[in-house]
Amino acid sequence: MPKDKKFVESITSRDQDFAQWYTDVVREAKLCDYSSVKGCLNYLPNGYAIWENIQANLDRRFKETGVENVYLPVLIPESLLQKESEHIQGFAPEVAWVTHGGLEKLEERFCIRPTSETLFCDHWQKTVKSYRDLPKIWNQWNSVLRWEKTTRPFLRSREFLWQEGHTLHATAEEAKKRTQLMLDIYYDFVTKDLAIPLIKGQKTESEKFAGAEATYTIEAMMHDGKALQSGTSHYFGSGFPDAFNIKYLDKNNKLHSAYETSWGLSTRIIGAIIMVHGDDSGLVLPPKIAPTQATIIPIAQHKEGVVEKAQELLKRLKIDGIRVKLDDSDKTPGYKFAEQEMLGIPIRIEIGPKDIEKNEVIIVRRDNGEKITVNIDNIETEVHNILENIQLNMYNKAEKFLNSHIQKATTMEDMINKFKQERYFIKAMWCGSKECENQIKADTGGAGSRCIPFDEEKISDKCICCGKKAEHMVIWGKSY
């Protein structure tokens, strides 16, 4: 089958050239492609469908904790952006500006939002007056624009899709609690629905979000050993609210500052799904977010009764809540198999004349290639069980990979040598100085601080770089 062979050969081996493998998978699975606007993507149906499921599953979790969705404008007046100096300095190199409205030059420039803290604060300054107006637990699903110099599909593009949550609270304690809650929601979603194991912790001072008092993160390891920041939650304290003069009256009619949080997860998480789970045949999608969980492929479909039986199974599985499709096109079975594997569909169901005689189907798992003979009478239960097993197996496999690629180092020489293998996170002690953090990154060829993990260990008493007293154990790694 020359067509089938070509289909598979269009993907570079991931161990041969990981970057090219990633590009090949994105292209061949038709997830997205570049538009005529440099650095911006066209999200194609196969890719956007994954994002829709991510959005639905995450949005449900948000709303269970009291989050309400809103939508604010895409344009931010320059005067608003300048109200919080640290924030604007952090984003200035990436901001795109609108200078004209039609043919007329605007009196004030507008930036296309890189993030929306200033818009939320501007609104709250006008509407929050009393303790009765708090808390505000808001989120918006939208796109943002950041003028990135180097772009890669999903991982880094100028315009990308995300959700950005913004909350306002009467007390610091309440805001800090919300900050942690949202990080925990991200952790639960990514580990359970995306089957990606994570390291959870706090960003160092130099790596935190511009304008935040503290930034918390979930970090994932890709198959090439690099890190991908997969979601962040920020505690702003009263910095932003004070800059925008947001004050509220308490029950005793006394004026107080408010406290803010922000948190976000973007389409770069699709890149994580590809790089954690994919293989040389293409995508491997976790069943919980796979747009299609099963494909029914009739064998010898020209024979009487085969397509009809496949249609019967399609109807039964749909009624039972399985996201299933029937491929009764005129492509060869081999091509259909290769296409199903490329798209990462968790299982395929093969049914032919001999199977119908035996009242059976063959189910093939995408995660490990196992073939399972299933009685047609029990197909709904068996499909559900197999999908649950695939979800668990994918997480366990990824967790085993992560744990086997985390090393410890107590000397710079040891750390440098391990990073030369380019497939590790390294646990090492750090004194807390920005100088040592920068030196470690320079000496290791780009391995920066990923986070101070919540479950940090005490490997030694000394900073791996300068030898002075250590303040924290840090996860170091190269990243996307």
Q: What is the pLDDT of residues 302-345, one digit of tens each?
A: 999 999 999 999 999 999 999 999 999 999 999 999 999 999 99
Average of per-residue pLDDT across 97-117: 95
CB 261 within 8 A of CB 169: yes
Tell me, yes or no, whether 306 and 198 share the same domain: no
Q: Which of 242, 274, 306 lies at the terminal end of a domain, its last residue?
A: 274
140 beta partners: 164
The mean per-residue pLDDT over the stretch 67-93 comes to 86
Domain assignment present for residue 2? The answer is: no
Q: Kindly state whether residues 419 and 375 are assigned to the same domain.
A: no
* Domains in the chain, number: 3
Note whether 55 and 88 are same-domain residues: yes
Same domain, 130 and 218: yes
In this prediction, residue 82 has a pLDDT band, given cuts at 50, 70 and 90, of confident
What pLDDT sits at residue 460? 95
Beta strand 425-430 with 472-477: parallel, antiparallel or unpaired? antiparallel
Question: 171 lies in a domain?
Answer: yes
Q: What is the mean pLDDT of residues 353-381?
A: 98
Same domain? 196 vs 60: yes
User: Stretch 3-9: mean pLDDT, rounded?
Assistant: 50
pLDDT band at residue 89 using 50, 70 and 90 as cut-offs? confident
Same domain for 216 and 299, yes or no, is no
The pLDDT score that the predictor gives to residue 211 is 87
Distance of CA 288 to the CA centre of its chain: 14
Q: Is residue 282 part of a domain?
A: no
The pLDDT assigned to 87 comes to 65
Residue range 76-90: mean pLDDT, rounded: 80
pLDDT at 180: 98
HSE, side-chain direction, 13 A CA sphere, residue 133:
16
Domain boundary among 274, 303, 325: 274
Query: pLDDT of 150-169, one tens digit each?
Result: 899 999 999 999 999 999 99
Same-domain check for residues 150 and 241: yes
DSSP per-residue string spanning 155-213: TB-SEEEEEEEEEEESSHHHHHHHHHHHHHHHHHHHHHTS----EEEE--GGGSPTT-S
- Do 217 and 364 fall within a single domain? no
Beta pairing class for 32-34 and 41-43: antiparallel
CATH of the domain at 452: 3.30.110.30
| CATH number of domain containing 382 | 3.40.50.800
* 287, part of any domain: no
398 domain-assigned: no
Class of residue 278 by CB neighbours under 10 A (exposed 0-12, middle 13-18, buried 19+): buried
> What DSSP string runs through 249-295?
E-TTS-EEE-EEEEEEEETHHHHHHHHHH-BTTB----TTT-S-SEE
Query: What is the arithmetic mean of pLDDT over 237-258?
Result: 96
Per-position b or e across 167-180, b if 16+ CB within 10 A of its CB = bbbbeeebbbebbe
Q: How far apart are CA 442 and CA 224, in angstroms?
A: 20
* 445-450 mean pLDDT: 96
CB 110 within 8 A of CB 97: yes
Supply the pLDDT for residue 404.
96
CA distance 245 to 129: 11
Residues spanned by the domain of 466: 408-477
Indicate the pLDDT class of residue 99, thresholds 50, 70 and 90: very high
User: pLDDT band at residue 93, thresholds of 50, 70 and 90?
Assistant: confident
**pLDDT at residue number 8:** 52
Same domain, 423 and 305: no
175 and 267 in a single domain? The answer is yes
Give me the CATH number covering residue 20.
3.30.930.10
Same domain? 196 vs 140? yes
- Token digits of residue 159: 């315009």
Mean pLDDT of all residues in 196-225: 96
Residues 234 and 359 in one domain: no
Task: Name the residue among 398, 393, 419, 167 with its Cα closest to residue 277.
Answer: 398
pLDDT at 63 over 90: yes
Higher pLDDT, 80 or 475: 475
Given a cut of 60, whether residue 4 has pLDDT beyond it is: no
Q: What is the dihedral of CA 191, 394, 409, 19, to 10 degrees?
A: -100
- Confidence bin at 9 (pLDDT 50/70/90): low
Distance, CA of 1 to CA of 380 (rounded, Å)? 33
Segment holding 452, helix H or strand E: strand 448-453
- Residue 27: inside a domain: yes
pLDDT above 80: residue 86: no
* 460 located within any domain: yes
Average pLDDT, rounded, for the chain: 95
Domain boundary at 239, 274, 309, which? 274
Q: What is the pTM of this model?
A: 0.95
pLDDT of residue 423: 82
Strand runs (DSSP E) across 302-436, as ranges?
324-326, 347-351, 360-365, 371-375, 406-408, 425-430
Judge contact between 147 and 135, C-beta under 8 A: no
Domain assignment present for residue 403? The answer is no
**Percent of the chain whose predicted confidence (pLDDT) is above 90:** 92
Q: Is the pLDDT of residue 1 over 50?
A: no
pLDDT value of residue 168: 98
Banded model confidence at residue 2, pLDDT cuts 50, 70, 90: very low
Mean pLDDT of 42-55: 98
Mean pLDDT, to the nearest integer, of 367-380?
98
